[in-house]
Chain A
Amino acid sequence: MAVEPESSKVQSGRRTRRYTTGKLLLVVAGMFGFGFALVPMYNALCQLTNLNGKDKNMLVASNVQEHEDVSREVTVQFLTTVNGGRIWSFAANQPQLKVHPGKLYTVMFTAKNQQDDAVVGQAVPSVVPWNAAKHLHKTECFCFERQPFAANEEKQMPVRFMLDPELPRDVDTVTLSYTFFDVTQLAQSAVKPKS
């Protein structure tokens, strides 16, 4: 049995195995990164398709032009939830409103801090049906920024919104939902809130 050919075979076999192992480790690292890359991909997809009741147009709208369409009446329902239950009492002053597309309306929401400590709240909006989300524009909303509450403070908070006339014809009811989150800890951390 010749020594040289066999030992070089053993070596080359080991090299191939190391090469394959290295390639597979790269795949592992890549897939770990891919898990995190799913986060911006998910957000981009939600923006693109207006999924998840979130849309750029919905959150901020400047210089809204009113074109009232009196021939059409759409019901807008207001839904309020407090995450984790007991921190605030939180409700819209009227449960629903009949609106004409193309006209600005203002509704008031009332929130009362039930605690004896100061808390910071953040309301997160959501709109259903999904194809109405990009047609709901808000010029003013308490959800645009964090809301600080002193102990037992009660606040009246306005939302000024308009449904644009391009709202799909089959939509006759739009639900605007707000969930109030306690972000006291987030607000204290060094990270600045997104503008």
Chain B
Amino acid sequence: MAHEHAHDDAHTHDHGHDDHAHGPDKGIMRWIKTTNHKDLGTLYLFFSFTMFFIGGLMSLVIRAELFQPGLQFVDPELFNQFTTMHALVMIFGGVMPGFVGLANWMVPMMIGCSDLALPRVNNWGFWLLPFAFTMLLSTFFLPGGAPAGGWTIYPPLVLQTGNSFPILIFAIHMMGISSITGAINVVVTILNMRAPGMTLLKMPLFVWTWLITAYLLIAVMPVLAGAVTMLLTDKYFGTSFFNAAGGGDPVMFEHIFWFFGHPEVYIMILPAFGIVSSIIPTFARKPLFGYASMVYAVASIAFLSFIVWAHHMFTVGIPLAGELFFMFSTMLIAVPTGVKVFNWIATMWRGSLTYETPMLFAIAFVFLFSIGGFSGLSLALAPVDFQYHNTYFVVAHFHYVLVPGAVFSIIAAIYYWIPKWTGRMYNETAGKWHFWLSAIFINVTFFPQHFLGLAGMPRRIPDYAVQFTDFNMVSTVGAFGFFIAQFIFIGNVLACCYGWFGRTRNATAQVWEGATGLEWSVPSPAPYHTFEDPPLVGDDGMPVHGNAAAAHAH
């Protein structure tokens, strides 16, 4: 053992070369000081869940206000603050940390290494987030209130934000640093720490999608940091990046922002593709159809995401050639996405399907994400985008890809892996209730918004013309129903964590009959340290002398 090196770098210590460090510390300091990927994964997931709850409450205020025309509950300024903060909290606090949490838990266990490559950086990356969001949410209590210019923070409007403006910028910088550290950690881990025999093209798709997502994060989060820094200097230090009076151009902000923003929307969906590609083969009891084409499709989507940004700004006055280029490059993304949907369906084709809760959410993902994809194709058409731009059609589109897309995939992943994490099975009946209520209410919420948008209701308004009332009422009922249904999920998850209702640790190592992959070769619940001695991975992706001993090699 490397005892003579154990002192020159504390890093070595984290790999548990002394036999005493096999269990977690006790008390609150365990969570503050932890460098364990499983602990940090848990922290990320609980943080993400808290943010989903807060962002969800904001959306309920929005939907309550929109239940009827006229102003009932909030004044327009506060309404705008809620729409802006709902988006920032859900994107940077809910979806992204949710996926980082899943990567923390699963990537080391899927590639057969003991932890992420940079465990202390991992701890720092997580603990930036509670501070960033405490600051961001505290702006509600400042004079002038929270940022209200939309999450896209377009100047010159956002420059009129009051005291909360510098706090918004600083919070975005902190979220960005957190995302970048997480992404670097994932890339270094995947490239350098795979177990022997785990070649790149044998990695589970969740690992592949996260590798590509991490590269996207590393490429575009710094661009967002640059853009918000320019906003800051424009407001306080007399620069004119976006100030037309000083020779700048506000349209340029839109270009820089969406150069970040479009890869960002794929950052929020590629890990979901990986999750669904893990779940569907398990419950179809067939290997994933077209593994290599799945990898190449994800890589193509990532590449294309860099050359389509101006489809968010068809109406700003870009010339015909530009409209055509961005229209066709955007429509091109439908090809690799179509390959993926085809492969998921082909995996299910003639499989021995069973419909446990993770599978239900995964199938709903394929179906409802495709609807979101189709409305995306409609929006990609430059000529019709002039009608759809800034309407509820856009709201319906991106909520279809983000809620039954990204969020359903996170829920599916938790149902799928929680027996591995806690050793306890969730309650299947409650899971099915959760699924059906969620799947119905999410469509009740967002499907009518397509019609509202086509009929001309603009987004980001607290009041509307009376002819939009009926669909808005339906949408509001759906939103409250969806929110309430999530309490079934909270109860189910916490019961697994804490053993409520007499749940016992009776999950087997494999948990699911059709599950394959390294994470299913360790016991349930997964020991605090797994794969301290890397396993030898066979052609089937399982350890060659496959047993759970790898977890406790000493």
Contacts and interface: CB of A to CB of B under 8 A. Distances in A.
Task: Tell me whether A and B are bound partners.
Answer: yes
Interface of A: 1, 3, 6-7, 10-11, 13-14, 16-17, 20-21, 24-25, 27-36, 38-39, 42-43, 46, 49, 51-52, 83, 122, 124, 128, 130, 179, 181-183, 185-186, 189, 191, 194
A186 B246 contact: yes
18 contacts: A7-B4, A13-B192, A17-B192, A20-B117, A20-B192, A29-B222, A34-B223, A35-B227, A36-B226, A39-B230, A39-B241, A39-B252, A52-B317, A124-B244, A181-B243, A181-B244, A191-B238, A194-B247
Contacts of A49: 319
Given A31-B222, A124-B245, 5 more contacts: A7-B4, A10-B12, A17-B192, A24-B184, A32-B226
Contact of B218 (A1, A28, A43): A28
A6 B6 CA distance: 13
A35 B242 CA distance: 14
Interface residues of B, number: 45
Residue among A24, A124, A179 with most chain B CB within 10 A: A24
B319 A130 contact: yes
Contact of A35 (B11, B184, B193, B226): B226
A194 B247 CA distance: 9
Given A14-B9, A31-B218, A38-B255, A186 B245 contact: yes
Contacts of B230: 35-36, 39
Contacts, number: 115
Contact of B188 (A10, A17, A181): A17
Contacts of A191: 238
Interface of B: 1-2, 4-5, 9, 11-12, 117-118, 156, 180, 184, 187-188, 191-193, 218-227, 230, 238, 240-241, 243-247, 249, 251-252, 255-256, 259, 317-319
A42 B227 CA distance: 14
B227 A122 contact: no
B2 A20 contact: no
Contacts of A34: 222-223, 226
Given A24-B184, A35-B227, A191-B238, A42 B252 contact: yes
A43 B4 CA distance: 58
A42 B249 contact: yes
Q: Return the 3 tightest CB-CB contacts between A and B, nearest first.
A: A35-B226, A181-B245, A32-B222
